[in-house]
Amino acid sequence: MYKKIISIILLTATVFLHGAKGQQAHTSLPQLLIRLDDIGMSHSVNMAVEKLAKTGIPFSASVQFACPWYQEAVAILKKYPNVSIGVHLTLTSEWRGYRWGPITGRTAVPSLVDSIGYFYQSTTAFENSGYKIDEVEKELSAQIERALASGLNISYIDPHMGVALSTPELRALTEKLAHKYKLGISPLSNVSYFGETYMEMWGEPVKTKKSAFLHYVTHLDPKKPNLVVIHTATPGPEMDALYDMNASEMNSPEGKPLSSLHRQTELNMLLSPEFMDLIGKKFTLINYKELLATKDISILMPVKVEMNQ
């Protein structure tokens, strides 16, 4: 009987030690942050984020609360606790024939809209518009407050098309809003607040997008969180029709929109067996909620991002 008890104790100790070593090996892997942008922009984008959410992997989703499909995005994201939610601060509306404007209304923030009441179609147009910083603050505050009122657990803010971090004045405002609402800031430029390295798949050609992504996630910095920004959508006539007014590489020389193909490719690479097989072997997946739980977000000190492009 004593031998049986000793055997049980030894077996228990062996299992415990093995588990401890496994956890130690797991936590020693580089950390990878996947952030999906433009959620709520359209139905096809929302369907894509749900496809990834259903896998159960942790990732972050930046929602455009100024866009027409944000309510569907909210309903979807409430079902998936593995997804950390951010507010994709929106001051531009970049598609031909598909536009949105300020949720505060065009008369409340007239310096932020064009002659028909929509956000400007490019960062350059916004920069040259004579925007008033107090109106920017009013609109971005309203977007954050709409997000907080949605019932989602909001962890961070980040800038759509980089606008809200594009000048010292706008960056100071974004930092002010993060402090006010006790949120982190995820980068979309050469400035980081939590030491993330940065990679964006948007501009990578379709034919090399998957290979470039897999190369990136197998060569991560082991000492820093590694962020890769992704834009996804499911195929269909809605997304296929969208023509990007800002980026020639998102359209063919003949004028055919290519954004849908880019986004489908990025979704497919995330769902691919090659990527899924690397999780827990080459890196640990985390989201912004998990990252910020280890940080003091009351002190937002910008640092230079290490660009991995």
pLDDT in tens, 269-278: 999 999 999 9
- How much is the pLDDT for 262? 95
Angle (CA) 168-169-175 rounded to 5° is: 85
Fold of 29-304: TIM Barrel (3.20.20)
**Mean pLDDT on 172-184:** 95
What interhelical angle do 43-53 and 259-271 show, nearest 10?
Answer: 10
pLDDT band at 158 (very low <50, low <70, confident <90, very high): very high
116 vs 309, which has greater pLDDT? 116
- How much is the pLDDT for 305? 54
Reported pTM: 0.88
Q: Which of 200, 213, 204, 196 is nearest to 278 (CA)?
A: 213
- How much is the pLDDT for 248? 78
Whether the CB-CB separation of 159 and 166 falls below 8 Å is answered with yes
- How much is the pLDDT for 22? 35
**Domain residues of the chain, as ranges?**
29-304
- How much is the pLDDT for 255? 82
**How many other C-beta atoms are found inside a 10 Å radius of the C-beta of residue 146?**
16
- 231-254: string of b/e by CB count within 10 Å (b at 16+)? bbbbeeebbbebbbbeeeebbeee
